[in-house]
Amino acid sequence: QVQLVQSGGEMKKPGASVKVSCKASGYNFISYGITWVRQAPGRGLEWMGWVSVFSGNTKQAQKFQDRITMTTDTSTNTAYMELKSLTSDDTAVYYCARDLAQSVSYCGFWGQGTQVTVSS
């Protein structure tokens, strides 16, 4: 079955960077894109960006354009999201999600989430 297992929680200081991993199993990793979504405490879902595992092409939300890097490693079936220049507003649970189907980029399968806390 499709599984996405994310890395553990992180505590970061303002100005630092964080890199969250998302290890996929149960399907052909290269055939489906990966989306990153975050959720601040008590808030709604916020789309951050999407990466094509096949081509490496990315789309990102304008809000994160200068700070986010999304990559994949097909040798380990792992996707990564790095966010730079963290502030307290970046405190959130970060989710990875797999496309529902090939060329259908709704978030059909989700990781368990990674808590990132930014505090001095």
Partner 1 sequence: YVLTQPPSVSVAPGQAATITCGGKNIKNRSVAWYQQKPGQAPVLVVYDDTDRPSGIPDRFSGSNSENTASLTISRVEAGDEADYFCQVWDLSSEQWVFGGGTKLTVL
Instruction: Give the binding site for partner 1 (CB under 8 A).
Output: 35, 37, 44-47, 50, 59-62, 95, 100, 104-108, 110-113
Distance of closest approach, residue 75 Cβ to partner 1, in angstroms? 26
CB of 120: closest distance to partner 1 in angstroms?
Answer: 27
Closest distance to partner 1 from the beta carbon of 77 (Å): 19
The nearer residue to partner 1, 16 or 27, going by C-beta atoms, is 27
Give the CA distances from residue 107 to residues 3, 45, 97, 111, 117, in Å, rounded to whole numbers and listed in that order: 13, 12, 5, 10, 24
Q: How many CA within 13 A on the CB side of residue 41?
A: 8
Q: Which of 2, 9, 23, 18 is nearest to 79 (CA)?
A: 23
* Nearer residue to partner 1 within complex by CB, 74 or 101: 101
